[in-house]
Amino acid sequence: MNTILGPGLAGVLALACGGGATAETTLRSASAFGPTHIQATALFATLGEKIAEFTDGAYGIRDFPSGLAAPGEMVTAMRDSVVDMGSMVLPYFPADFPESLLPSNLSIFGENPVAISLATTEYIVTCAECQAEFARVGQVYLGSGWTPAFQVQTTRPAETLENIQGVRLRVAGSVFSEWAEYVGAQPVQLPSSEIFQAMSEGIVDGFFGNLPDMMIQQIQTYVTDITMVNFGTFNGDSISLRAGLWQDLTPDDRSAFIRAAMVAREAGGEAWSAMNEQAKTSAAAEGIVFHEPSEDLQEKLDAFRDHQLEAYKAKLDADGIHDGAAKIDRYLGLVEKWEDILATADGDVQSMVDLKMQEIWSKVDLQGYGG
The tens-digit pLDDT sequence of the chain (371 residues) is: 343 333 333 333 233 343 344 568 999 999 999 998 999 999 999 999 999 999 999 999 999 999 999 999 999 999 999 999 999 999 989 999 999 999 999 999 999 999 999 999 999 999 999 999 999 999 999 999 999 999 999 999 999 999 999 999 999 877 899 999 999 999 998 888 799 999 999 999 999 999 999 988 899 999 999 999 999 999 999 999 999 999 999 999 999 999 999 999 999 999 999 999 999 999 999 999 999 999 999 999 999 999 999 999 999 999 899 999 999 999 999 999 999 999 999 888 999 999 999 999 999 999 999 97
Tell me the pLDDT of the chain averaged across its residues: 91
Single pTM value for the model:
0.90
CA 156 to the chain's CA centroid: 29
Cβ-contact 252, 43 below 8 angstroms: no
Residue 10 burial (CB count, 10 A): 8
Q: How far is CA 100 from CA 14, 136, 248, 263, in A?
A: 33, 13, 25, 23
- Give the DSSP per-residue string, 93-132: -TTT-TTTTHHHHTTTS-S-HHHHHHHHHHHHHT-HHHHH
DSSP 92: G
Tens-digit pLDDT profile for residues 45-54: 999 999 999 9
Q: Say which residues have a Cβ less than 8 Å from residue 254's Cβ, sequence separation at least 6.
A: 246, 366, 369
Q: How far is CA 352 from CA 220, 266, 337, in A?
A: 33, 8, 15
| Alpha carbons 70 and 238: distance in angstroms, whole number | 14
From start to end of the chain, where are the E strands? 2-3, 25-30, 59-63, 85-89, 139-144, 151-154, 168-170, 186-188, 206-209, 225-227, 237-242, 289-291
Cβ-contact 212, 269 below 8 angstroms: no
Residue 2: per-residue pLDDT? 44
